Amino acid sequence: MHWYAALKLDHSKQKGVFSVLGKFTYETRVSSRDFCRALIQNPFEVSIEDENLSSKIIDASWFFLVWKSDPTISAMLRTIDDIHKYFKSIDNLWDILTEKENLISFNYVELENIGLTDDLYIKMNARGKLLSSFENFKASFLKKITDNRWENQTNLVETFF
């Protein structure tokens, strides 16, 4: 929402806003993180006449065609189109989103220490679909790394995570 609202701002205000938005990221997939970064780094004009923004984004020179087959990025594009559909006629969207503190908030719950089973992780991770062989391997490998404390003395940037 904030990214979309920032697109609608006057160009003189956009630079500072996009520098802050650049701090937000998507950690699950590298392609999704790269897509989010590209969205922030390549603002474009938004018009009330635009039917959808996904076409504009897909046609942009910075958009990698392989991203079209990424389910997360496809969902993001659909969400952007929905946001545009419902909020394109609101001129002061940025002010509405930012004038009150905590208008939108997120709760973070650390699941490791509350005794949940792997079944919940599987459902949350793959939305009810079975994990791929690689996802199962990665989960087992991460557990082995953690259990054996292989990376305790390693700089966080250089870890497997």
Amino acid at position 40, single letter: I
pLDDT digits (tens, 9 = 90+) for 9-20: 877 677 778 778
Same domain, 20 and 87: yes
Same domain, 121 and 149: yes
Instruction: Give the separation between CA 149 and CA 100, rounded to whole angstroms.
Output: 44
- What is the number of structural domains in the chain? 2
Q: Is the dihedral of CA 127, 120, 146, 135 positive or negative?
A: negative
Same domain, 57 and 85: yes
pLDDT score of 81 more than 60:
yes
Mean pLDDT of the chain: 80
User: pLDDT grade, residue 123 (50/70/90)?
Assistant: very low
Compute CA distances 144 → 137, 139, 150, whole Å. Answer: 10, 9, 8
User: pLDDT grade, residue 82 (50/70/90)?
Assistant: very high
Distance of CA 98 to the CA centre of its chain: 20
φ/ψ of 90, rounded to 5, equals -95, 110
- Is residue 104 a part of any domain in this protein? no
**157 or 148, greater pLDDT:** 148
Same domain, 90 and 132: no
pTM exceeding 0.85? no
Please compute the mean of the pLDDT values over residues 46-75 and round it to a whole number.
92
User: pLDDT grade, residue 109 (50/70/90)?
Assistant: low
pLDDT score of 156 more than 80:
no
The Cα angle at residue 25 between residues 18 and 4, in degrees rounded to 5: 45
Last residue of a domain, one of 52, 71, 98: 98
Q: Give the structural domain span for 63.
A: 2-98
